[in-house]
Amino acid sequence: MLLAVDIGNTKIKAAVFETAALINKFIFDKSEALKEFKKIFTQYPHIDKSTLSMVGEAEAELLQLLDSKSELVIINHDSLFPFKNKYATPKTLGIDRMVLSAGAVLQYPGVNRLVIDAGTCITYDFTDSDDNYLGGAISPGLQLRYNAMHNFTAKLPLLYPEMPSHYIGNSTANAMHSGVVNGVLHELEGFVKQYNEQYQELTIILTGGDAEFLAKRLKNTIFANSNFLLESLNLLYLYTITND
């Protein structure tokens, strides 16, 4: 069994895999990491391998636990990836974006792919049908937009994502919901249209914490999969041990 772990800035996502099958998924705060991972290893004593990617920092004690309980592989910029990295500043490319792109290449071979990760920030990552990673875009996510309006104005309240009933907001709260949610939806639709105009056979994967909230409101044909990062970690691990 394989334990795939993604360490973010505040949350940790983990999943137990048996080859390609996702057995169970976990999400918890970084402050609870040691306790939660001990529970996972107790619940699944047959975990003998683990793979980890991180945006934020990981405590040394946590890494020691993973390494002592399993054969640990940490994904970094020097790891083997199934694409050619054409980013102008490859060392600044986030590991999470690289893992998502690897998953897209491995799961959808021979086509153009755009991975949209709707989390704290919204990231767009494009790999062409020849497995070249070309780059993408980064913009503020839903909650970050609400936070910015509250933090950088005198009177706007702090709100949380809610689908507006109409694009014309008839109150301050409704106007903010319309601006944030419809703004993100128009952004997504605009980017997808732009990519579709240039690239044929485009496969679009929408993932991240806000994927399900946004997917049902989008007009374009996309694959919405909130587990795509963890699945990509598993696929990348299998690719690495096969090609190393």
Cβ proximity of 182 and 164 under 8 Å: yes
d(CA 90, CA 98): 10
d(CA 171, CA 155): 13
Catalytic one of 29, 48, 96, 210: 96
Helices H, strands E: what count in the chain? 8, 11
Residue 13's DSSP bridge partners are: 6, 27
The answer to whether residue 210 is catalytic is: no
Name the region of 138 (left: φ>0; alpha: ψ -120 to 50; beta: rest).
beta
Joined tokens for residue 219: 């007009």
CB atoms within 10 A of CB 233: 30
- CA dist 191 and 3 (Å) reads 34
Regarding beta strands 112-118 and 121-127, do their DSSP bridges make them parallel or antiparallel, or are they unpaired? antiparallel
Helix (H, G, I), strand (E, B) or coil at 78: coil
Return the number of other C-beta atoms located less than 10 Å from residue 217's C-beta: 13
**Active site (catalytic) residues:** 96
